[in-house]
Structure 1
Amino acid sequence: MSTDSIVKASNWRLVEVGRVVLIKKGQSAGKLAAIVEIIDQKKVLIDGPKAGVPRQAINLGQVVLTPLTFALPRGARTATVSKKWAAAGVCENGLLHLGLRRLLNVKDVLL
């Protein structure tokens, strides 16, 4: 088993499993989550256990795709997402990423 838990920034912000998204509408607005499964061209299944975002289907119009990705299997359970999220250091890298702190506009959303 390889250690594919390095967070990397890609040139194109594609909808893909393992992409970190920022929720801009709803109860979890301003929090980060990861795409776990692609339902159709307009909806994805997200999960953000470290940020307090429950596993839910969400419209792509309600999220902002960030340039952060990490290795995540399709349909991963919440415990797996939590482990991979922590191993990749998404919270630390997300806060340090240029412009993401301004998008969040909240200091301790992820803590």
Structure 2
Amino acid sequence: MKATITDQSGFTLIELLVVVGIVGILAGLNFSSHRQFKTRAYDTDAKTNLQSLFLTCKLYWNDEGSTANCNVSNVSGSSYGFATSSNVTISGQGAETSFSGSATHNSSTTTYTINSKGALS
């Protein structure tokens, strides 16, 4: 006796390959977007730290006078409470009218600067 299969169901090899290809393309697109989101987050972290330094220096100048030289070490610690993120390299110094600073995240190539008016570039 021969057994015959009259009702076959399932996917063909071509259908499975098409689905695997589509999943691969979607995964590749997601990886690219994820990398862009991480870069933007790193850049935002650097900009936020730089703006925080500027605002903390404004408090420092209010207490010490607008001609006092504000820098990271002056406003770090308990008196003004400025602290940077662990992966951000930041520098800045100057009087209220001549202040300038820069910051970059260790995982990004973009460096941001701030001037005495608080404008980021």
Q: Which has the higher contact order (CA 8 A, sep 6+)?
A: 1
- The normalised TM-score by structure 1 is 0.27
Bigger CA radius of gyration: 2
